[in-house]
Chain A
Amino acid sequence: MNEQSQAERPAVLEAAGLAKAFGATRALRSCSLRMPAGEVHALMGENGSGKSTLVKILTGVHAPDSGTLTVDGRPVRFGGPAAAIRAGVMAVYQEVLVVGPRSVLENVWLGADGVFRRRVAEADKRSRAAAVLAELLEQVPDLDTPVEQLSLSDRQACGIARALVRGPKVLILDEATSALDVATRDRLFRAVARRKAEGMSVLFVSHRMDEVDAIADRVSVLRSGESVVTLDAAEATTAELVRLMTGSEHLAGASAADVAGRAPDPAAPVLLRAAGVRLHPGAEPVDFELRAGEVVGLAGLEGHGQDAFIKALWEGPPGEGSVLRTVDGTGAPIRSEQQAAAAGIGYVPRDRRAEALFGTMSIRENFSAATLRQDRRSGLLSRRAAQERFAPYRSALKIRMGRGSDPVSTLSGGNQQKVVIARWLARDPQVLLLNDPTRGVDIGAKRDIYALLAELTARGVAVVMLSTEVDEHIELMDRVLVFREGALSATLTRAELTRQSLVAAFFGRTVDEGPVSGTVAGPDAGPTTPALTPDGAA
């Protein structure tokens, strides 16, 4: 390790013991990072390891709960991105942030002037924007073109140019390369190398081993919100990084659901069949069969198609292909949620608050929302009927709650999720689609949900579950479909499932493989997730 020589060089950016919690979720526990001038520092970690939170603290979007941040040796507290930019820290995100109707020139210089005071002369702006864009793009667009008329890759280049024209001390590329085409990305890497020689540092967040191999000097790994280690890039083999990102220790305690003891019947009837479902234009179509009694996991790095796939099973395919709900060999196509629900499919969405809960209504009302018909007594809704129907689910799912008439908001996240699941179970589904059902759910409630799944599959219900937790896949799934760049890239059976094999598959590798120059996806490969809101709330 090269710690000695790195320690001698003064740090341009140093974070020590950063921690940040959102409610009960501790996104960042203890993160430390030291970047000398003129270094490209890669930051790697699984989904939910705290990378985004760290970047948002470094750019002033979030304030840390504890820990210190210094720039050029001086402690700083950023009140917002403006303060971070003044201190010389500027970020470009995976989400392409441009103002569509405004010109390329305005987008490149966005935020450089004050509200009323001009800080950069107009003529200066034109020449400097053109010079930076010429570094990034083969052909510089007319600076007066509305940026919405450019390709996604060129728009992202404008976002990167916005950071470069300000001459930051630290440039943060938070998966910013995912929207770039290969040629632009390579030009960006050359531009970064030139600026590195002039002393600019880059914090490079990427899921792509080939990119990290190409430009990183050192690599830091985050796991569960904590800094694990910083390595020289030369030491950072794929296998080593995967081991560091996943951790060798396993979650304590065996699953309450004895899923390992279950053996799904390979001859069980197929309940759901997807054929030729294309999730993104240009991506390989996905074929999939779901058999009764199976638990199938959907995995991959955030935004690589697994979310689109589970939605395709519920709403019908977004473009080409078909989803069939099959009964005795024949099937009815699924093209809408209504058809899916009528065909005995249940769907528990990912965003509980926005898509699943009626936040102001009671627990009982939330339970009975999809099955109100059954509570009719002589044409009127009977509260007692709903109460009686709810009781068995309440005990089966171990829902910890006061009275059924209490607002659903009084429940913990895990118990809210159980109410949503109970709502669908009341419809007696044959296929249950769960979109990351245990996100933000405490360990006890997770165990209850796992036990329920074991019971359901024993009765012949088939479950498709998207999960962002590697351990959940290892413990629960009969097989796992791994998505990468909008297509199904690997299927791991129970026997092949290990933390290492699964995470390696996320990155398009197998465990034994060393670094290879992987292919780089086109601009449409990775749909983005919102990174910022004006008030800084996620």
Chain B
Amino acid sequence: MTALASVRALLARRPYAFAALLTLTLLLIDIAVQPAFAAPSNWPAVLASFAPLACAAMASTPAILSGGGGIDISIGPVLTLVNIVIVADLLPNGLTSPLLVVPICLAVGAAIGAINGFMVAVLRFQPVVATLCANIVVGGLATQVQGGSVPTGSTGWTKDLAGSFGPVPGALLTIGAPLLIWVLLARTPFIKALYAVGGDDATAYSAGMNVPVVRIAAYALGGLYAGIAGIALMSLISEGAASMATQYTLLAIASVALGGTALSGGRGSLVGSLLGAGSIYLINNLLNEVNVSTLWSTAIYGALLLFAVVVGAVLTNTRRRTA
């Protein structure tokens, strides 16, 4: 029991340690099963196929951290909408410059996130209900923009994002951008305010914090990250993918939970969600590599995920300490 206690003590200080350990273990197994997986020439492709989920997981994090039952289940549709807007609207109309495309995508994501935040923090809708509505509306918009056929397209910089800029894997940009933005925001009071509001909103309110503005900003930040995820997805598949929205929504939230972030808010980290997404990506990859029948792989994959979440919960002892 003392070993368990010390693991728990570590996880109390570093809630993402479990996801880190799991990711590392799975990485070693993946490499053992398929040595080519680790070859440097393979890195850009591996990272590019990981980037959409990694960004989606990070996009789901701020809303959950902001507490009050906060969650954003519109992340999946937002990222597919952005993906489709690039392929179906921007590129065919000659808008190919990243200086134009990237800001548009980020603005679309952040605007939808801000609307979600407004519904939650000001109109006081249940976060699940508000973002479920957004999920349906944005998903419908994505389907409409995509149209009857699947649009395809790519341009120089999107190919580089899926490959590499010189020696640097392009996906490091899309995965690194949310982390960088987080680090910059941590130099302002915002991140601390986010944790405080998520940890105890009554206390934050009584201390004079602007609770609604913090929450709106959290959802907008998540939306912005979903915009980055959309760019990552578009550059990876070079086509519209309205049907992938639901999968990303669910896996992103699973990543956050796996990464040690409490769904009750106020505890967790962005890095944890990234590592959680890493675990999920590697489990998926492993099942592909050992040629598990696709008829079975989803069920096995779900069961493994459940196992990981249960083990993580037991180790982390997520029950809130009261004294």
Contact = CB atoms under 8 A, between A and B. Distances in A.
B189 A113 contact: yes
B32 interface: no
Given A81-B206, A110-B207, A535-B124, A115 B199 contact: no
Contacts of A253: none
A115 B210 contact: yes
B188 interface: yes
Nearest to A113: B189
Query: Quick one: which of A86, A98, A99, A113 has the most chain B CB within 10 A?
Result: A99
B205 A534 contact: yes
Contacts of B266: 99-102
A173 B266 CA distance: 27
Contacts, number: 97
B321 interface: yes
B195 A101 contact: yes
Interface residues of B, number: 30
A330 interface: no
B211 A534 contact: yes
A82 interface: yes
Given A101-B195, A110-B196, A162 B207 contact: yes
Contacts of A98: 200, 203
A120 to B, nearest CB: 9
Interface in B210-243: 210-211, 213-214, 217
A97 B206 contact: yes
Interface string A47-87: 00000000000010100000000000000000011101110
A415 to B, nearest CB: 30
B4 interface: no
Contacts of B202: 97, 530-534
A532 B205 contact: yes
Interface string B173-211: 000000000000000111011011001111111111111
A116 interface: yes
A347 to B, nearest CB: 26
Interface string A507-534: 0000000000000000000000011111
Interface string A86-120: 10000101000111111000100011111111100
Nearest to B187: A118
A81 B188 contact: no
B192 A115 contact: no
Contact of A93 (B195, B206, B211): B206
A99 B200 contact: yes
Contacts of B267: 101
Interface in B56-86: 68
A116 to B, nearest CB: 5
A100 B200 contact: yes
Contacts of A110: 196, 203-204, 207, 209
A534 B68 CA distance: 10
21 contacts: A80-B205, A80-B208, A82-B209, A85-B208, A100-B200, A100-B266, A101-B267, A102-B266, A106-B195, A110-B196, A111-B207, A113-B189, A113-B192, A114-B210, A115-B190, A115-B210, A115-B213, A148-B321, A534-B68, A534-B201, A534-B204
Given A114-B189, A118-B188, 14 more contacts: A81-B205, A81-B208, A82-B208, A93-B206, A101-B266, A106-B195, A114-B210, A115-B210, A116-B189, A116-B190, A532-B206, A534-B201, A534-B204, A534-B205
- Interchain residue pairs A-B with the least CB separation, the first 10: A111-B207, A113-B189, A99-B199, A82-B208, A111-B208, A97-B203, A110-B207, A85-B208, A534-B205, A99-B200
